[in-house]
A and B are shown apart, each in its own frame.
Chain A
Amino acid sequence: MTRKTTTILRYDLDNYYLAGFRNNPYWLLDNNLLTDNVNRILGNAQITYTPLSWLTFTYRAGADIFSDYRKQKFAKGTISLVDGRYVEDNTLSKNFLSDFIVTINRDITPDLNARLILGHNLQDNNTSRSVADGQPLIVPNFYDLSNVTTTVNTRADAHTRLFGVYGDLQLSFRDYLFLSFTGRNDWSSTLPTKNRSFFYPGTSLGFVFTDAFKGLKDKSWLNYGKLRANIASVGKTAAPYSLLPVFTRSSITDGFNGLYQFPLNSIPGFAVGNVRGNANLRPEITTSWEIGTDLQFFQNRLGLDFTYYHSVSKDQIVNVPISSTSGFNSQTLNAGTMQNQGIEVVLSGTPLKTKGGFKWDIAVNFTRNRNKVTELYNPLAPVNLGGLGATGLQARLNEPYGTFFGSKMLRDPNGNVVVDPSTGRPMVDPVQAPLGNIQPDFTAGLVNNFSYKGFNLNVLFDTRQGGKFYSQTRVAGRFSGILEETTYNDRQPFLYPNSVLKQADGSFIPNTTVKTDGGFNYWSTISNISENSLFDASYIKLREISLSYSLPRTWISKARLTNVQLSLIGRNLALWTPKSQQTVDPEVSSFGTGNAQGYEFLAYPSPRSYGFSVKVIL
């Protein structure tokens, strides 16, 4: 109380109304702090021994050790934690790497060089995390584990090892024909003993035909040409402890911080874990081949890189959510096989280059990927990849990875929306359905670079066309009524456009009488139907403009400097999205890089930024 009279608080708790859901954010900022203290040590040591001019032994050892100590404070008065809470969350991570490499490099004939690498690789990764979660606080605003009534301690340790041997033979003939063979065998601690060893080979061929056939080079329009082809496999192992089901110390929550924590009144209890083990897990192997060419024309004024690729990932390791009615909630599976094929094209050129020093460079890149799930562990059931609320993301047989699946509005045979005869709001189709895919049709970029006497202007656009995403911002905006679309018809009752009513005999008649209410309930119904929260993920972005100026040598040479460059940089300067989606930046994934892509969950848009830089090179 005295504080109130002496200082002006930036919040007014007594008159701040948030309906019991949330604390005032300024209050949270002042009271509930997370401190994070990270210490990291990186070390490397290498011994090289060259007994013969063509023979080298190398031993390399590396360590990456870090600790991450977090302290989270919840003051008394925090909504849903009214008596306060204090959490210490400490992680220690130790990662060791060892490589022993034998390199043999010899010219077999003056034209033919051979380089053979034989290696042995060891990885040991050890993470241990311990969490002490204490509540309630005894003395307010004092945060120490001695100051809580009950502390729940949990540990999560993970230790993995990988052991590999590999070989790499590279042959080059007269520096224009290159042939290589690689092979690696790994043994992983995280796979069942019977499946822990896996071998993955590769081979590649490169041919600089402009060097092989000197005659070609005389053609003035072609100055460099290379053909390349390769095929290779890569193996991937599983996360630790995926093989056996476990029991977990029982801890029961309701999503609102309510909790039964065993031991319950000193009676111990263990629950059957919810992750089903998989004692037959196999490594995931991706085999891909590609062919391509790099060409340079007209004294490097025009260049073309073209690649066609095809890859098959077999036995993909996915942590698949499964129906709780089976007794488990998820299982790590070799869920299926996925195929990717596509082209990548980079076209670069210099349309203008004057004697006066003006130069315009332009580069276009284009990528088109076609993805297909070609095999599933259970051909009848799609694999769930996760998702948000009523809209799930699935891998479905013979469809691209990442198909949205959920509810649709009920429609008559002509595609008109059927509305509820009592509420006037769209009805839900009893059958859930695929609702589009996250995969884009193509992505592309365009770079223009203009330079003139030390000035350099660089303009970068990029685009993604096609594919869908789920927007929780849109859902929340409808819920709270902050979106323009929610003012439709001034929030007064209206007839859902082109809607129909279902008759008792199963036929449909145009709806001319039953109006929806125009407010919260209408928008709530709309958002609850999955298809209404999926949007076109296409965009064009003005990704970056930079203008730089390098000071003339004559000005700086006295200061013994090589280069001084001043730049103005702007990033994410403009965004164009389709008319149907003008609300959010589609280029965000709220679930990181995991299985469930294509979800925007109240994410911040990519920030627009402006910068100024000075680069000084001695």
Chain B
Amino acid sequence: MKSFVKSIFLVSVLLSATTACNDYLDINTDPNNPTTADINLVLPSGQAFVSFVVGGQFNILGGTLGQYWTPPKGGNQYRQWDQYNINSSTLDGNGGQFVALYSGAMQDFQNVITNGTAQNEWRMVGIAKIMKAYTFHVLTDLYGDIPFTEALDADKTVTPKYDKQKDIYAGIQALLDEGKADIAKKQGRFPGQADLIYKASSDADMEKWTRVANTIKLRSYIRLSQVDAAAAKTGVQALYSGQNEFIRSSESFTFANSANTNAENPFWQAVFRLPNNLTASKTIGDLMTPVSDPRMPVFFLDADLSTPAMDYVFVPNGTLASNTPDKTSYPGKWFIGQQFTNGAIRGTDVASGVSTTDNNNARARATIFLSYEESLFLRAEAAERGWAPAQEVAKALYEDAIKASMSRYGVAIGDFLSKVDYTKATNKIQAIISQKYVALFGTGGLEAYAEFRRTGFPAMPLPVTNITGGKYMKRLPYVDSELQRNPNVSQTGIAPGDILTPVWWDVD
């Protein structure tokens, strides 16, 4: 009996050592994460990454460098940004924005493009290309030269080369044309609910995407007005001569947020997590106060919340906490709802004058990538520069843009247009950019910062305290993760931590 048991045991050991062994070991499939996912699941993820970064931390960053915001007395979260003290670690690490846009957003778009192309899902591919082009545009405006042609293809290289911004701009235009051409094939699924921007479920919806592509093209060409006006002009003229339409009223390029937890507007989320860290800058205040801009009560909170009359207290950027008044104007209820404390008054108190409804509205505001009013300002500039056909009238477009902005904030325009009369403006471009700057307040920080670098409008004083020895910050420094992992970053010739060298299109 004993020997029988023994031999059974030995046989079983030998068996498991040979045949059963492989089955026994075939357990190396991740039980928690799938190895495949339909492109309809990946597209919304990519779009959400863009919304979260562009509408959240990048919006605050651009809004601080573009002087919509500065820190209030008690809030130091963004004080270093405000003083241009931004180093290669600042936007890196956990949740870093450069990383989130490449390996988060654009890797998802690339997945939709690659798999969608194989499946002839041209509608989804077109959307993914337009989103990818938009994301590259955001990144290159901040960083200048970045990986483009060799990026997002790990099978080929994990150390992509850095392309010149000039080539990236050409590449973005080409990518947008491809996206439009893909949509024009009218082939494949509509993304429907999976498109968190237009919920595109018909060809009429897909045309909105085509108009977005055209408007990004317009924005990209106009950005080159100083570095290569001829190319900008040719590009814009080609857009018009091709009978291309731009974003229409009430179809702004925006990402839908909601009042649900972990789906709120990213700017609201940032202010909710770290309240009382942003107050309105004197730069925006000085633009709006002399013309009694009717958007002021929406844009800013009353500094002390206690007097019946609204009084605004704006702070010059770079002001030290010790020189900052105790009570200053926080972002308006349209943006942050009840997420503030003002002395003894909390945003949730009745005395604050901000209701729960206001708060829920602020949570649910869409992230704005490119609004209808911005498209009108872009067209106004194209017209003013003589790059658009005769039916595009700069003054009318400028006024329509301002009206569109007023209507977004539910504000009666009154006689405002007469106070910012286009015909009286000595510098029309300045007038357009300045009003665009106001219209982008709180939502388009990155664009405000980019347009200031391009045009110098509106005039911005240097931050009172800055670490650059009195020079404007012109770019973001390359992040540590790139400096350490991609040796090609040295091809750019930009020193680690450099924030002063302008990007290619920023020439004066």
Contact = CB atoms under 8 A, between A and B. Distances in A.
Contact of B76 (A19, A188, A190, A324): A19
A273 B33 contact: yes
A192 B480 CA distance: 33
Nearest to B339: A82
Interface in A158-196: 159-161, 163, 165, 187-190, 193, 196
Given A324-B99, A423-B468, A407 B496 contact: yes
B158 interface: yes
Interface in B28-51: 28-37, 41-42, 44-46, 48-49, 51
A267 B197 CA distance: 12
Interface string B237-267: 0000000000000000000101011110010
Interface in A502-560: 521, 524-525, 528-529
Contacts of A161: 24-25, 27
Interface stretch (B87-95, B221-229, B400-408): B87-95
A321 B13 CA distance: 41
Interface stretch (B147-155, B305-313, B329-337, B382-390): B147-155
B263 A264 contact: yes
B34 A246 contact: yes
Contact of A246 (B30, B100, B108, B111): B30
Contacts of B98: 324
Chain A CB within 10 Å, residue with most, of B17, B97, B498: B17
Contacts of B52: 252, 254, 258, 260
A315 interface: no
Interface residues of A, number: 101
Contacts of B262: 150, 152, 259-261, 264
A392 B28 contact: no
B486 A57 contact: no
Given A21-B77, A187-B21, A390-B87, A405 B30 contact: no
A20 B261 contact: no
A472 to B, nearest CB: 11
A226 to B, nearest CB: 38
B273 A81 contact: yes
A155 B263 CA distance: 21
Interface in B252-297: 256, 258, 260-263, 266, 269-270, 272-277
A384 interface: yes
B45 A262 contact: yes
A525 B466 CA distance: 12
Contacts of B35: 244-247
Contact of A247 (B16, B33, B53, B495): B33
B241 to A, nearest CB: 36
Interface in A236-290: 240-241, 243-250, 252-262, 264-265, 267-274, 276
A422 interface: yes
B21 A163 contact: yes
Interface string B1-35: 01000100100010011000110111111111111
A417 to B, nearest CB: 15
Nearest to A383: B485
A270 B468 contact: no
A149 B493 CA distance: 50
B96 interface: yes
Contacts of B30: 240-241, 244, 246
B490 interface: yes
Given A157-B31, A327-B152, A269 B468 contact: no
A381 interface: yes
A440 interface: no
A79 interface: yes
Contacts of B484: 321, 384, 387, 392, 394, 405-406
Size range of the chain B interface in the assembly: 35 or more
A68 interface: no
Nearest to A258: B269
Contacts of A326: 103, 151-154, 157-160
Contacts of A187: 21, 25
A81 B269 CA distance: 11
A33 B16 CA distance: 49
A442 to B, nearest CB: 29
A329 B88 contact: no
Interface stretch (A227-235, A336-344, A427-435): A427-435
B494 interface: yes
A156 interface: yes
Contacts of A582: none
Interface in A104-162: 120, 135-136, 149-150, 152, 154-157, 159-161
A328 B107 contact: yes
A262 B261 contact: no
B438 interface: no
B64 interface: no
B32 A272 contact: no
Interface in B421-463: none
Interface in B89-148: 89, 92-100, 102-104, 106-108, 110-111, 146-147
Contacts of A254: 52-53, 56-57, 95, 97, 100, 266, 270
A497 to B, nearest CB: 19
A423 B500 CA distance: 13
B187 interface: no
Contacts of B151: 325-327
Given A252-B48, A258-B269, A390-B496, A189 B56 contact: no
A100 B9 contact: yes
A21 B260 contact: no
Contacts of A405: 484
A258 to B, nearest CB: 4
A163 B16 contact: yes
B103 A429 contact: no
Nearest to B49: A252
B185 interface: no
B273 A258 contact: yes
B481 interface: yes
B153 A150 contact: no
A4 to B, nearest CB: 16
A81 B31 CA distance: 31
Contact of A420 (B106, B469, B480): B469
Contacts of B74: 17, 19-20
A521 B76 contact: no
B270 A256 contact: yes
A269 B41 contact: yes
B344 to A, nearest CB: 10
A74 to B, nearest CB: 12
B42 A430 contact: no
B272 A389 contact: no
A321 B481 contact: yes
11 contacts: A20-B275, A100-B13, A156-B32, A189-B25, A253-B95, A264-B44, A264-B48, A407-B88, A428-B498, A429-B495, A525-B467
Given A261-B262, A422-B469, A430-B495, 4 more contacts: A247-B42, A254-B95, A260-B52, A422-B471
Closest 3 CB pairs of A and B: A422-B469, A255-B95, A430-B495
Interface of B: 2, 6, 9, 13, 16-17, 21-22, 24-37, 41-42, 44-46, 48-49, 51-53, 56-57, 74-77, 85, 87-89, 92-100, 102-104, 106-108, 110-111, 146-147, 151-154, 157-160, 193-194, 196, 256, 258, 260-263, 266, 269-270, 272-277, 467-471, 480-487, 490, 493-498
